[in-house]
C-alpha cells in the first residue's frame, strides 16, 4: 500500500510549539482522510526547528467506488420531468436509464450512477492546502510581498517549501501537486542550514529520513533528546561528574537544533559561592545550558553542558569559548546581585513594596503584606505556630520581590528571601516560611509542615481569595487569571494534610469585613442578596454583604474540596451527602465525616439502614404526594402508646435515643460514634417494616406512622443527607 510523505519547510519554529504542531498536523490530516473514507495503517509526525514532517503509511491508491440507484419518473411522464431526472442523474439520454416496474407505480425509470473512488492524490491535493491555511499555530504571522494582499497565508514563521509525495514502495512515487499562496508542492527539501544547505530530492519517507540524516538533520525530536542526554551524561561521566537532568530544558534544546552537538564549558570556581539554584537558573534561563554536580558531595561543579547545532571545523573551541564568556558575564551579574542584596536587610525593603501594585483595586504589595501579617498572627494559634514568628515571617515574605536577584529571576522568589533571611539571622522557621508560603503550587507540589509556614501559607492564600471575592473577580469557566482555584486547593491541602481544624467561615467573614470599602458587587448577586434580606424580619439577624460573599466563597471551597476528594478517589455522592447538610466550614471535619460515612456504609448495618431509610423515604414520597401534604411533624406519642404495635413503640424509643446520641457525637466530632448510634436503628427499623402496616385503616394512626417514617429520615440527617447517596 502506498505511503504519504509531507514536509513543511519554514524558518525557525519556536521550540515550545514544535511537538504540539507535529501532533496537530498528524491529527488534522488523518482525520480529514478518515472522514473521506480513507483508512491507513500508521502515521507519525516529526518536527525540527525548520520543518514539520508527516508520514502516513498504508493508504489506498484510491477511494471506494460508490454505486447508487436513483428512481426516476414513470415511463411516459411529461418531458420536463424526464429532463430534470436526466440532469440530476448525469445522463445524456433516457436510453441510458433502466426501466423497472412495480405493481403500484407501474413502469418507471431507474438511473444507475457509478461514482468511481477518487484517486488519493486528488483528495490529498484538496485536503492539504486547507489544513495548511488554517493550521492552529498559537501565534502566526504574514510575510513578504504576498502580505500586500488581505488574507495572505499565515504560518508560524515564513513557510518556504512543501514536499508532498505519494506512492507505493516499488515504484517512483508521484508528487501530490497543490499550491498554497504561491508555494507549489514538490519533492525538494534542504538539509542543515550550515552543514548541508544544498537541495535534496526525496522520494518517500524511507529515503527522506536517511537523506536528511546524511544532511545533518535528525527529524525525530525524541531521538535528538536521546542523543543530547547520552552525550551529556557521557561528557559528565568522563569528568567524574553527574548531569543535573532537566526534562523541560532537554525538550527545549532539542527544539533548537537539527543536529545536536554536545559540548562542555567551565566557569571560575569562585562563582560557586552563589547559591546553586541561582547558578542553575542563570545558566538555564539565559543560556539554555545544563549544570553538573559532583556525585559524591551533591554540590554543583564549575562546569556546564551546552548543546550546539554545529559540527564546527575547530572542534567547537570557538563555540565553547563564546558560551563561557556569556556564562561568565551572567554569573558576574548574579554574584553582584547576590552580594548587593545582602547589604540591605529584608525589613528595610518593605517601604519599596509600596510602589508595587498587587492589583489596581486591591492596593500595593505593602498593604497586602500588612493584611497577611495580621491574618498569619491570628491563624498561628489555630495551627500551632508562635504568633510572633508567623507575623515576622509574613512581614518579610514578600521583601525579596524588590531584591535585584528576584528582579532578574522572578522564579527565584521565596527562595532568595529564605537565603537572605538566614544570612541576616532570622529564626529558621521564619526563613523557611518565607520560601514555603507560596506552597503548595498545585496538586502535586509539596505541602509545608512547619506550623509557621502553614500559618503564613494559609494567610497568603486566604488573603488572595478574600481580596478577589471582595472585588468580584472570581474564576469563570476556564478563565482563572489569578490562579484562585489553585489558591483554594492550597488552603484545602494545607488544612487536610496537616490535620488542622479551622472554621473558614469566621476567618473569611472577618477578612471580608475589613475590605468592605472596596467591595464590588455584581448586580445580579446583589438582587439575590436583597431578596434574601427581605425574608428576614429581625434586624439583628440581618446579614451584611460580607455574609453573602462569605457564603459564596465557602461554596467555591466546597466545589474545590469535592474536586480534590474526587481526585483522591472519594465517592462524590458521599461528599454531596455530607456537604449538603453540614453547616460546618471546617474542611477537616467534613472530610472526616465523609470518611466515616463511607466506612459505615461498607458495614452490613450501614447498608441495611440505608435500605430502611430508602424504604421510609419512598413510602413517604408516595403518600405525601397522594395526600398533597407533608408529614414533617413529630409523631404523636399518645397515639403510639394507645394504638401502636410493639415494634412501633420500640422504634420511637430507638429513634429518640439514636438521634440524641448521634447529635451529641457529631457535636463532639466523633463521627464513628454518630454512625454507631445510627447503626442501632437498623434492627428496630427492620422490625417496624416487617410487622407494621404503615397504611393503617385508621387515618390518624396512618398519619402518625407516616410521621414516624419521617423521624427515620430526620435521624439520619444528623450525620448526612442520605438522599444524596447513590448505589
Partner 1 sequence: MTSEPAHMNPARSFQGLILTLQRYWAEQGCVILQPYDMEVGAGTFHPATTLRALGPKSWRAAYVQPSRRPKDGRYGENPNRLQHYYQFQVILKPNPPNLQELYLGSLEAIGIDASVHDIRFVEDDWESPTLGAWGLGWECWCDGMEVSQFTYFQQVAGFECSPVAGELTYGLERLAMYLQGVESIYDLNFNGLEGVEKVTYGDVFLQAEQEYSRHNFEHADTEMLFRHFRDAEAACRRYLEAGEPKAGSNDSRHLMALPAYDQCIKASHMFNLLDARGVISVTERQSYILRVRELAKACGAAWLKTEGGGVAA
Over the window 38 to 67, marking each residue x when it contacts partner 1 by CB under 8 A and - when it does not, the resulting string is: -----------x------------------
CA distance 117 to 129: 21
| Residue 310 engages partner 1 in binding (rule: CB under 8 A) | yes
What are the CA-CA distances from residue 705 to residues 642, 694, 698 (Å)?
A: 13, 6, 11
518 belongs to the binding site for partner 1 (CB under 8 A): no
Residue 404 to residue 365: CA distance in whole angstroms = 17
Gap between the Cα atoms of 208 and 582, Å rounded: 66
Q: SS3 for 468?
A: helix
Given the complex with partner 1, which of 481 and 539 has the nearer CB atom? 481
Q: Is 386 helix (H, G, I), strand (E, B) or coil?
A: coil
Among 249, 327, 402, 662, binds partner 1 (CB under 8 A): 327
Query: In this chain, which of 145, 238, 517, 540 binds partner 1, going by CB under 8 A?
Result: 145
Report, in Å, the least distance between residue 177 CB and partner 1.
Answer: 21
Closer Cβ to partner 1, 138 or 168, answer by number: 138
Contacting residue, 35, 314, 537, 541, with partner 1 by CB under 8 A: 314
Q: Which is nearer to partner 1, 355 or 618 (CB)?
A: 355
Which residues are CB-neighbours of 242 under 8 A, at least 6 positions away? 236, 292, 293, 294, 295
Q: Name the segment binding partner 1 (CB under 8 A); options: 29-37, 134-142, 171-179, 227-235.
A: 134-142
CB atoms < 10 A from the CB of 705, how many? 28
Rounded Cα distance, 307 and 227, in Å: 10
Kindly state whether residue 366 participates in binding partner 1, applying the rule CB under 8 A: no
The bridge status of strand 159-167 relative to strand 183-186 is parallel
> Interface with partner 1 by CB under 8 A: which range of 114-122, 151-159, 434-442, 680-688?
151-159
H helices of 54-179, in order, are 79-89, 120-133
Q: Point out which residues pair with 290 in neighbouring strands.
A: 305
Residue count at the site for partner 1 (CB under 8 A)?
49
Q: Which of the residues 167 through 206 are near partner 1 (CB under 8 A)?
A: 194
Among 282, 308, 710, 716, which residue sits at the site for partner 1 (rule: CB under 8 A)?
308
How far is CA 552 from its chain centroid? Answer: 23
Q: How far apart are CA 619 and CA 662, in angstroms?
A: 24
Report CA dihedral (635, 636, 642, 648) to the nearest 10 degrees: 10
Q: How far is the CB of 9 from partner 1 (least distance, A)?
A: 12
Could you tell me the three cell numbers for 110?
431507474
Binding residue for partner 1 (CB under 8 A) from 147, 510, 645, 723?
A: 147
Binding string, 12-41, against partner 1, x = CB under 8 A? x-xxx-------------------------
Among 92, 93, 297, 313, binds partner 1 (CB under 8 A): 313
Q: Minimum distance between the CB of residue 15 and partner 1, rounded to whole angstroms?
A: 7
Binders of partner 1 among residues 336 to 365 (CB under 8 A) are 355-357, 360
Residues 281-300 within binding reach of partner 1 (CB under 8 A): 287-289
Looking at 48, 165, 281, 309, which residue binds partner 1 (CB under 8 A)?
309
Element (H, E) at 180: strand 179-180
Would you count residue 596 as binding partner 1 (CB under 8 A)? no
The verdict on 369 binding partner 1 (CB under 8 A) reads: no
The nearer residue to partner 1, 330 or 439, going by C-beta atoms, is: 330
CA distance linking residue 354 with residue 401, whole number of Å: 12
Cα distances (Å, whole numbers) of residue 647 to 93, 639, 653, 692, 723: 92, 14, 10, 7, 25
Identify the DSSP state of 503.
Answer: B
Binding partner 1 (rule: CB under 8 A), the pick from 27, 44, 70, 160 is 160
* Binding residues vs partner 1 (CB under 8 A): 11-12, 14-16, 49, 139-148, 150, 156-158, 160, 194, 256-257, 287-289, 306, 308-310, 312-314, 317-319, 321-323, 325-327, 329, 333, 355-357, 360
Amino acid at each position: 500500500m502506498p505511503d504519504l510523505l509531507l514536509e513543511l519547510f519554514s524558518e525557525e519554529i519556536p521550540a515550545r510549539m514544535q511537538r504540539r504542531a507535529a501532533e496537530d498536523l498528524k491529527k488534522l490530516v488523518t482525520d480529514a482522510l478518515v472522514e473521506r473514507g480513507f483508512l491507513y495503517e500508521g502515521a507519525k509526525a516529526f518536527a525540527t526547528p525548520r520543518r514539520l514532517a508527516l508520514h502516513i503509511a498504508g493508504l489506498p491508491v484510491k477511494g471506494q467506488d460508490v454505486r447508487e440507484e436513483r428512481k426516476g419518473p414513470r415511463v411516459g411522464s411529461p418531458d420536463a420531468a424526464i429532463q430534470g431526472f436526466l440532469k440530476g442523474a448525469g445522463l445524456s439520454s433516457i436510453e441510458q436509464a433502466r426501466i423497472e416496474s412495480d405493481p403500484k407505480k407501474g413502469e418507471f425509470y431507474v438511473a444507475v450512477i457509478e461514482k468511481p473512488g477518487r484517486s488519493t492524490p486528488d483528495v490529498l491535493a484538496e485536503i492539504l492546502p486547507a489544513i495548511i491555511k488554517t493550521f492552529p499555530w498559537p501565534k502566526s504571522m504574514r510575510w513578504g510581498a504576498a502580505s500586500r494582499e488581505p488574507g495572505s497565508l499565515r504560518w508560524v514563521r515564513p513557510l518556504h517549501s512543501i514536499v508532498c509525495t505519494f506512492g507505493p514502495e516499488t515504484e517512483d512515487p508521484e508528487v501530490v501537486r497543490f499550491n498554497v499562496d504561491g508555494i507549489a508542492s514538490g519533492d525538494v527539501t534542504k538539509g542543515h542550514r550550515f552543514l548541508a544547505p544544498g537541495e535534496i530530492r526525496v522520494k518517500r519517507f524511507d529515503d527522506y529520513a536517511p537523506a536528511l540524516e546524511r544532511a545533518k538533520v535528525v527529524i525525530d525530536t525524541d531521538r535528538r533528546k536521546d542523543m543530547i542526554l547520552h552525550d551529556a551524561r557521557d561528557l559528565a561521566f568522563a569528568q567524574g561528574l553527574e548531569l543535573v537532568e532537566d526534562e523541560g530544558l532537554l525538550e527545549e534544546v532539542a527544539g533548537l537544533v537539527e543536529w545536536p552537538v554536545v559540548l562542555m564549558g567551565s566557569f571560575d570556581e569562585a562563582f560557586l559561592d552563589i547559591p546553586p539554584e541561582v547558578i542553575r537558573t542563570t545558566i538555564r534561563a539565559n543560556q539554555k545550558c545544563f549544570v553538573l554536580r559532583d556525585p559524591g558531595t551533591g554540590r554543583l561543579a564549575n562546569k556546564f553542558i551546552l548543546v550546539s547545532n554545529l559540527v564546527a571545523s575547530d572542534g567547537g573551541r570557538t563555540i565553547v569559548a563564546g558560551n563561557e564568556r556569556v556564562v561568565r558575564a551572567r554569573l558576574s551579574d548574579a554574584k553582584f546581585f547576590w552580594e548587593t542584596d545582602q547589604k540591605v536587610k529584608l525589613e528595610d525593603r518593605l517601604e519599596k513594596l509600596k510602589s508595587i501594585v498587587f492589583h489596581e483595586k486591591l492596593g500595593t504589595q505593602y498593604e497586602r503584606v500588612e493584611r497577611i501579617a495580621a491574618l498569619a498572627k491570628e491563624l498561628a494559634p489555630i495551627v500551632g505556630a508562635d504568633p510572633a514568628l508567623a507575623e515576622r515571617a509574613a512581614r518579610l515574605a514578600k521583601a525579596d520581590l524588590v531584591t535585584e536577584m528576584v528582579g532578574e529571576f522572578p522564579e527565584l522568589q521565596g527562595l532568595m528571601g529564605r537565603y537572605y533571611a538566614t544570612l541576616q539571622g532570622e529564626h529558621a522557621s521564619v526563613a523557611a516560611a518565607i520560601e514555603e508560603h507560596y506552597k503548595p503550587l498545585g496538586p502535586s507540589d509539596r505541602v509545608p509542615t512547619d506550623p509557621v509556614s502553614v500559618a503564613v501559607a494559609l494567610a497568603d492564600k486566604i488573603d488572595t481569595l478574600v481580596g478577589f471575592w471582595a472585588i468580584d473577580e472570581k474564576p469563570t469557566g476556564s478563565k482563572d487569571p489569578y490562579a484562585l482555584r489553585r489558591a483554594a486547593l492550597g488552603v484545602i491541602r494545607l488544612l487536610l494534610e496537616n490535620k488542622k481544624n479551622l472554621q473558614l467561615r469566621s476567618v473569611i467573614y472577618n477578612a471580608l469585613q475589613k475590605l468592605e470599602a472596596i467591595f464590588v458587587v455584581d448586580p445580579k448577586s446583589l438582587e439575590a442578596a436583597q431578596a434574601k434580606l427581605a425574608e428576614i424580619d429581625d434586624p439583628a439577624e440581618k446579614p451584611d454583604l460580607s455574609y453573602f460573599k462569605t457564603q459564596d466563597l465557602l461554596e467555591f471551597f466546597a466545589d474545590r474540596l469535592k474536586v480534590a476528594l474526587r481526585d483522591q478517589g472519594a465517592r462524590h455522592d458521599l461528599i454531596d451527602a455530607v456537604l449538603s447538610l453540614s453547616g460546618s466550614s471546617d474542611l477537616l471535619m467534613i472530610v472526616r465525616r465523609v470518611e466515616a460515612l463511607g466506612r459505615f456504609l461498607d458495614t452490613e448495618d450501614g447498608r441495611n439502614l440505608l435500605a430502611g431509610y430508602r424504604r421510609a423515604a419512598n413510602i413517604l414520597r408516595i403518600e405525601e404526594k397522594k395526600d398533597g401534604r407533608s408529614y414533617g411533624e413529630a409523631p404523636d406519642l399518645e397515639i403510639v402508646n394507645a394504638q401502636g404495635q410493639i415494634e412501633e413503640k420500640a422504634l420511637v424509643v430507638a429513634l429518640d435515643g439514636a438521634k440524641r446520641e448521634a447529635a451529641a457525637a457529631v457535636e463532639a466530632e466523633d463521627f464513628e460514634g454518630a454512625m454507631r448510634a445510627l447503626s442501632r436503628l437498623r434492627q428496630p427499623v427492620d422490625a417496624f417494616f416487617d410487622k407494621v402496616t404503615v397504611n393503617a385503616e385508621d387515618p390518624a394512626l396512618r398519619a402518625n406512622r407516616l410521621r414516624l417514617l419521617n423521624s427515620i429520615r430526620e435521624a439520619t440527617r444528623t450525620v448526612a443527607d442520605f438522599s444524596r447517596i447513590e448505589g
